[in-house]
Structures are given as C-alpha cells and as structure tokens.
Amino acid sequence: MPSQQPTESVLNPIVIVGAGHSGVAVAAGLRSRGWEGDILLLEAEKEAPYERPPLSKELLKAGAPDESTVLRKEKFYHDKRIDRRAGLTVDAIDPAGRTVELSDGSRHGYHRLVIATGSRARSLTVPGAELPGVQALRTRDDALELKRALVPGARVAIIGAGYIGLEVAAAAAAKGCDVTVLEFQDRVMSRVTSEPVSRFFERLHEQNGVRFVFGAAVTAVEGSDRAERVVTADGAAYPADVVLAGIGVVPNQELAAEAGLQCQDGILVDDDGRTSVPGIYATGDVTRFTSTIDGASQRLECIQNAMAQADRVAADITGQAPADPEIPWFWTVQHGVRLQTAGVRHPDDDVIVRGTPAEVKFSVVYLRDGRLAAVDTIAGLTDFRPAKKLIAQKTRIDPLLAADPGTPLTDAAFAAS
C-alpha cells in the first residue's frame, strides 16, 4: 500500500470512529507513545466506553450490579486530552479532502482517520424475529434487557451454540430458567473447537439442566403479541418466553465501503492497520487481514486482536516500532469452567487430547503438518503459556508425547524443528 504522505496540517486531530476496546486503545496508545496532537474519539452509544466480555458473563448473574465496567474512567480521557464525544456517528468520509461529516451535521478535518466501528450481532431474519421477547446480545442495553427477562421459570430458547449462546445458557440455567439451545450444526462451538471439547461442554450444560437440539433449522418465531415459541424445519415447536439469537456478528463496514475503502466481509487492512486508502486505518472486529502465522484471510472477533491491532495503528501513526505480534487468544466461561484457546484451529488439524475430559481439567492440542497450531485448555491454564510460545515458533510436536498429560508440552517438542 502507498506510504503515508504527512503533508497536510497536523493541526487536524486524529479522528477515531468508535470507542470500543480497540478505539479506546488507539487513543491511549497514541498518548503513551508520545503523540501530542489532538485526538477526537467518537462513539455512537451515549454512555462511557465499557467492557463487553462481562455482558454475557458477570453482568447476567443474580444480584450482579447493573453498572457496567467502564474501559477507562472519565479522568483518564481528561488527563490524556482525548476529546470523547458520545452519541455521535460519522455519516460520511471524504478521503480526498480528509474530512468526516458527523451525525450532528458538523465537519471535521482529520490528520489520520481510524475506523473502529466494531461489529453488530447478526440479525435473525425468520418470520416473527421482530416480536418482543426476541433479542441479541451485543450492547449493555441488550444485556440489561436480557438480565431482566431471565427470571426463575422463564422458558429461554437460545438460537446458536457459540460462545454467546452458551454463556447465556449457563447464566439462565443458574437463575432457574428452563433453557433450550437450538443449534444447526451437530455439536456446540463447532466453529471454534474440536469434538472432544464440544462434547465436554455439552455434558457440562446438560448436567446443569440445559437441553440441546442439534440439526435445528429455525424457520419462525411465533406468538400473538410477543414471542411464544420457536419453530424448526422439522415442524417441532419450542415454547419460549425469551428468544436469544447468538448467530454471529457482522462487521460495521458500511461507512468505509461507501467511502471507497476495500472491504470483503470486513475492512481490508495490512499488518499496520492501514486500509486501501491513504490516511485511513481500521482496527478491531471490523477488519479483515492476513494472518502472519498461517497466511489465512481472517476476521478475529476478540479482545486480544482489538488491542494488538490498536497498538500497531498507534505505532504506525507515531512512526514507532510496534510490540511483537501475539498469538491470538480467546476465552469463555460456562458454569464456572473456563475454556481458553490460543491460536486459530483449522477443521482438518490433527487433534490430540491431553488428559481425560471426564476429569474436568484437560487440554487439546492441534497439530498442522506436525507443528503446534492451537491449543484449548479447559479448567486449567498449565498448557496455555507454553503453547503460545510453541505456536509462535511453529514447533514440531511428538504426538505420542503430547498425548501424555504428565509430559509438559514443551518436552513434547522435537529437538530439531
């Protein structure tokens, strides 16, 4: 991509569109890297930027306070001279004039523009999806609405057995709801993990009263004035007071696409977060990029990536070296059991289970061409940190040694790799 041409006045601010994890981290990173120019941070939501992971976990628990955990206290934005404007969106970008037009009609020139608009929950599109009682979970308002609906005895139908669906299933079951999870695939979390891990979490949920229906193709939500049941293609109907759709996310790329930035299910960016248009960066969930590890084109919907990309953007803008790349990692907690993953597994990786899934604590390593590509750790992090290093080094692993949980993962590496 063309190099930046810093010919325009740096009196213009760096404008950051979106104050989620990545947008806020760009602002913070610019300051910690010594950037002294103005920073304008725009956020569509009215309230101060907040943490999203707790929305599907801690916030839903009985007795948990409604207050969200803010990313940074007000004083931080003040002290760091970050001009944060809530309730404002960008209506249009003029890349040639290096200006943005905001939803309040004002125009702002920018020195650099950073698009950190994130993603939104994929909408359920079947008939009846608009009925009251049907919702997704992405924002704090979504979480509070869901929390109020999860009362003891409520019949909860969850569409999609991914992280969000399963975390909500766990929270709902803990609150005494009657929970059914409808999943099109034949196992939970099929996109992100292997069958042994799926089966372990299915048993864990079932022991806590959650029912699963696999191969379920939802065709409609029915009800007279609010959701009463979810109907599947085989004609079955599942009574529901609450319907949660956890069917993935969609990048908020429309603004960028309209301005002519190259997008392909995500704004295309290079290793430094540069888009196809000079002077404009993108970071976080909204981006698609080429993995430095396996060359795959990917969107990574995780905090680790949101923070790492933000750092690279801040480094590029300030002309400094970024931190070393980090292996992507992810976590979920369901019924108090943590699943933490390092690396991005492929469906045809070799799967080696370390330990016995019946004993709760175990891990699963994934080998690609004999080299460690990813690891899932369940209820224990012993393998997590060593695995991250071995993945980064694309280390060859002895599958027999790796299958023995008593052998440290590092000792399962072949000497010459």
Partner 1 sequence: MSNNKLTVIDREGSTHDLQWEPDQTLMEALRDNDLPVLASCGGTASCATCHVFLEKEVFDTLAERSEDELELLVDAEGYQECGSRLSCQLAFSQDLNGVTVTLAPEE
Residues that bind partner 1 (CB under 8 A): 31-32, 51, 53-54, 57-58, 69, 71-73, 75-76, 79, 303-304, 307, 331, 333, 338, 380-382, 384-385, 388
Q: Shortest distance, CB of residue 377 to partner 1, whole angstroms? A: 9
Query: In this structure, what DSSP letter does residue 275 have?
Result: -
Closest CA to 80 of 112, 18, 33: 33
Q: Shortest distance, CB of residue 28 to partner 1, whole angstroms? A: 8
Nearer to partner 1, 176 or 380 (CB): 380
d(CA 362, CA 342): 15
Query: In this structure, what DSSP letter does residue 329 have?
Result: E
Nearer to partner 1, 52 or 274 (CB): 52
Nearer to partner 1, 116 or 280 (CB): 116
Nearer to partner 1, 241 or 311 (CB): 311
d(CA 121, CA 250): 6
Q: Shortest distance, CB of residue 282 to partner 1, whole angstroms? A: 20
Beta strands (DSSP E) in 240-336 are 242-245, 249-251, 267-268, 280-282, 287-290, 297-298, 329-334
Nearer to partner 1, 357 or 380 (CB): 380
Q: Shortest distance, CB of residue 154 to partner 1, whole angstroms? A: 25
Q: Shortest distance, CB of residue 358 to partner 1, whole angstroms? A: 19
Going by their DSSP bridges, the two strands 329-334 and 337-342 should be labelled as antiparallel
Going by their DSSP bridges, the two strands 155-159 and 242-245 should be labelled as parallel
Q: Shortest distance, CB of residue 90 to partner 1, whole angstroms? A: 26
d(CA 85, CA 87): 7
Helix axis angle, 195-207 to 163-174, nearest 10°:
20
Q: Shortest distance, CB of residue 371 to partner 1, whole angstroms? A: 21
Nearer to partner 1, 53 or 260 (CB): 53
Nearer to partner 1, 12 or 305 (CB): 305
Percentages of the chain per state (helix, strand, coil), in multiples of 5: 25, 30, 45
Q: Shortest distance, CB of residue 382 to partner 1, whole angstroms? A: 5
Nearer to partner 1, 51 or 350 (CB): 51
What are the residues whose beta carbons fall under 8 Å from the beta carbon of 340, sequence distance 6 or more?
A: 329, 330, 331, 376, 377, 381, 384
Q: Shortest distance, CB of residue 119 to partner 1, whole angstroms? A: 18
Confirm if 374 and 391 have CB atoms less than 8 A apart.
Answer: yes
d(CA 45, CA 33): 27
Confirm if 16 and 26 have CB atoms less than 8 A apart.
Answer: yes
φ/ψ of residue 382, rounded to 5: -55, -45
Nearer to partner 1, 191 or 338 (CB): 338
d(CA 69, CA 72): 9
Beta bridge partners of 288: 268
Q: Which residue has the tokens 């939970």?
A: 188
Q: Shortest distance, CB of residue 290 to partner 1, whole angstroms? A: 23
Nearer to partner 1, 64 or 400 (CB): 64
User: Within 10 A of 126 (CB to CB), how many other CB atoms are there?
Assistant: 16
